[in-house]
Structure 1
Amino acid sequence: MDQFDMLFRPPTVAQMKQWKERLNFSGTQMARILGLKSARRWREYADENKQQGIPPANLFMGAALVTLPQADIDRVLAAMREIGAAVDMDVDAESLVAHGEPQP
């Protein structure tokens, strides 16, 4: 990748809803793969009246999680941890406080 310029046009709300249907996912599952805090946030992106468009990083994450083999996902998560991130894909986002710390 020689440059980091990117053209990105987010999918429409209808296209996002179609993807959800193809995956046969709930709103909670969509929120999880897209890195959103809750199913409520997914519903905001799926609202025909808002048309705000999913950010490219969130869409990339969701597409990667449903496309890549688990070994590749694990390699990316390991790289994120090496950079200094705390990543746990099994934590329920609604159990986190504002700063991302798990609640007992």
Structure 2
Amino acid sequence: MKLWKERLNYSGSQMAQILGLKSSRRWRELVDENKPQGIAPANLFMGVALTILPQKEINRVLEEMREIGAVIDLDAAPDSSELAGDHIS
């Protein structure tokens, strides 16, 4: 995960945001080598998709998610309550 972060040249906050984590602190916990933990496949899928798919395809998926009731703000700060897919109405 650390190598991926370096390859993307992202900050901890940016990694938290693309992975749908609640805070950059959660990102630091996730990559703490003294306390190995996994990441939910859905979160990893989202992060990878956001970094490799063309924006048009990302928008297509987000629009479909909104159509089924998801409230999404990918520009929200990781510490915000308006995280990506934070809730479905």
| TM-score category, normalised to shorter length | 0.7 to 0.9
Of 41, 49, 52, the match for 2:26: 41
Instruction: Mark the structure with the bigger radius of gyration.
Output: 1
More strand by share: 2
Q: Could you tell me how far apart the structure 1 residues matched to 2:35 and 2:76 are?
A: 29
The share of aligned pairs that are identical, in percent, is 67
For structure 1, the residue ranges without an aligned partner over 5 or more in a row are: 1-15
Q: Could you tell me how far apart the structure 2 residues matched to 1:59 and 1:84 are?
A: 22
Q: Size of the alignment, in residue pairs?
A: 84
Q: CA deviation at 1:64?
A: 0.1
> Which secondary structure state, in structure 1, belongs to the residue aligned with residue 2 of structure 2?
helix
Q: What residue in structure 2 maps to residue 24 of structure 1?
A: 9
Q: Any runs of at least 4 consecutive aligned residues in structure 1 with deviations exceeding 4 A, and if so which? A: none
Aligned runs of 1:16-95 on 2, under 5 Å? Answer: 16-95=1-80
For structure 2, the residue ranges without an aligned partner over 5 or more in a row are: none
So what's the TM-score if we normalise by structure 1? 0.75
So what's the TM-score if we normalise by structure 2? 0.87
Q: Could you tell me how far apart the structure 1 residues matched to 2:54 and 2:67 are?
A: 20
Q: CA deviation at 1:95?
A: 3.1
CA RMSD of aligned residues (A): 1.7
